[in-house]
């Protein structure tokens, strides 16, 4: 298995990457069960790239049922050190319009059904998460969007709800009052697990609608989202192609070494089966 230079997790409307060369859909096993799909591993602009469709290639996995732990562990198994997430979101601001891209810098977690940590048995780890995304990946993502002359916003607070239902009007207005910029259903616990695994994570959100709060727009529908996604997907592919042409991206040491100061448990006293299950996650 080759090491990958960078991986992309594709959300709604993103199930493959055009321009891949010598690629292969590779099944990667995980200690945490079945991932969303096989990993598509191949060459793009002379870099080893991996791509994972978050909802599966047939979009048959609901946000709450995605096996986020398996997805992230599979990326760690191929020695992925950085991942860019692309996902559809609703806007909670008038100036964040459908078709715009948002480079996320903060999250609010309103999920409640999902496994949000690799360390649920025997080992206790408290990772720092005040700055949940990689500064270096954000920086080059912003540069790429600017070079492509795409409409983007370089900051955004993403509130992650459980779904699969969209928000009520009261909820949408509440999230706006909190200062949230966009709303989605998938970036948490994905970002938390990537941090635990020592993988640099960056989230690029693609606005498809105004949720349900905007008085001058129709309530959000799947048809509306799909229509906007078609245009956004083409832009996303240009983004992927352009960012993979850049020089090697340096990983942030505070991310890759995060567990060195986060595990409280004495690992010498942990059951060997537990350590075996976490062996890839515990690797720096």
DSSP assignment of 221-247 equals: -HHHHHHHHHHHHHHHHHHHHHHTTSP
Q: Are 89 and 232 in contact (CB under 8 A)?
A: no
Of the residues 5, 37, 105, 211, which is catalytic?
211
Q: What is the pLDDT of residue 236?
A: 87
Query: What pTM was computed for the model?
Result: 0.93
Of 92, 61, 80, the closest CA to residue 202 belongs to: 80
Determine the structural domain holding residue 220 and report its residue range: 6-277
Q: Is residue 282 part of a domain?
A: no
Residue 184 lies in a domain: yes
Number of domains in the chain: 1
For the chain, the average pLDDT equals 91
Cα separation, 124 vs 189, whole angstroms: 17
pLDDT at 7: 95
Is 209 a residue of the active site?
A: yes
Question: Interior CA angle at 94 toward 89 and 95, to 5°?
Answer: 85
In a domain, 45, yes or no: yes
User: So what's the pLDDT on residue 222?
Assistant: 66
Q: Is residue 33 part of a domain?
A: yes
Element spanning 75, H or E? helix 68-77
1 belongs to a structural domain: no
Pick the closest to residue 148 from 71, 239, 245 (CA basis). 239
Q: What phi and psi, each to the nearest 5 degrees, are found at residue 156?
A: -175, 135
Q: Is residue 284 part of a domain?
A: no
**Per-residue pLDDT reduced to its tens digit, 197-235:** 999 999 999 998 898 888 876 666 666 666 777 777 788
Here the CATH number for the domain that contains residue 15 is: 3.40.50.1580
Could you tell me if residue 127 is inside a domain? yes
pLDDT given at position 219: 64
* Amino acid 221: pLDDT: 65
Residue 1 pLDDT level (bands cut at 50, 70, 90): low
Question: Is residue 44 a contact partner of residue 85, using CB atoms and an 8 Å limit?
Answer: no
- Residue in the structure block whose two tokens are 């810098």: 105
Instruction: For residue 283, tell me if it sits in a domain.
Output: no
- pLDDT confidence band for 253 (50 / 70 / 90): confident
| Residue 84: half-sphere exposure toward Cβ, Cα within 13 Å | 29
* Active-site entry in 37, 109, 209, 266: 209
């Amino acid at each position: 298995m080759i090491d990958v230079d960078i991986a992309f997790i594709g959300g709604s409307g993103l199930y493959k990457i055009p321009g891949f060369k010598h690629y292969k859909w590779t099944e990667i096993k995980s200690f945490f069960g079945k991932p969303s799909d096989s990993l598509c591993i191949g060459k793009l602009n002379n870099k080893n790239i991996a791509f994972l469709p978050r909802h599966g290639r047939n979009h048959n996995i609901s946000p709450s049922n995605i096996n986020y732990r398996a997805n992230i562990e599979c990326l760690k198994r191929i020695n992925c050190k950085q991942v860019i997430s692309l996902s559809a979101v609703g806007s909670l601001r008038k100036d964040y319009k459908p078709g715009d891209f948002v480079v996320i810098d903060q999250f609010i977690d309103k999920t409640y059904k999902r496994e949000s940590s690799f360390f649920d048995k025997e080992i206790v780890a408290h990772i720092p998460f005040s700055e949940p995304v990689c500064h270096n990946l954000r920086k080059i993502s912003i540069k790429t969007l600017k070079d492509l002359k795409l409409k983007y916003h370089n900051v955004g607070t993403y509130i992650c709800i459980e779904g699969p239902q969209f928000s009520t009007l009261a909820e949408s207005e509440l999230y706006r009052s909190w200062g949230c910029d966009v709303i989605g259903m998938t970036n948490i616990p994905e970002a938390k697990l990537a941090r635990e695994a020592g993988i640099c994570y960056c989230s690029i959100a693609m606005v498809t609608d105004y949720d349900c709060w905007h008085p001058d727009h129709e309530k959000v529908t799947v048809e509306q989202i799909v229509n906007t996604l078609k245009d956004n997907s083409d832009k996303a592919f240009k983004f992927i192609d352009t960012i993979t042409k850049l020089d090697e991206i340096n990983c942030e040491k505070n991310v890759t070494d995060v567990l060195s100061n986060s595990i409280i448990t004495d690992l010498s006293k942990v059951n060997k089966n537990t350590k075996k299950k976490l062996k890839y996650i515990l690797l720096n």
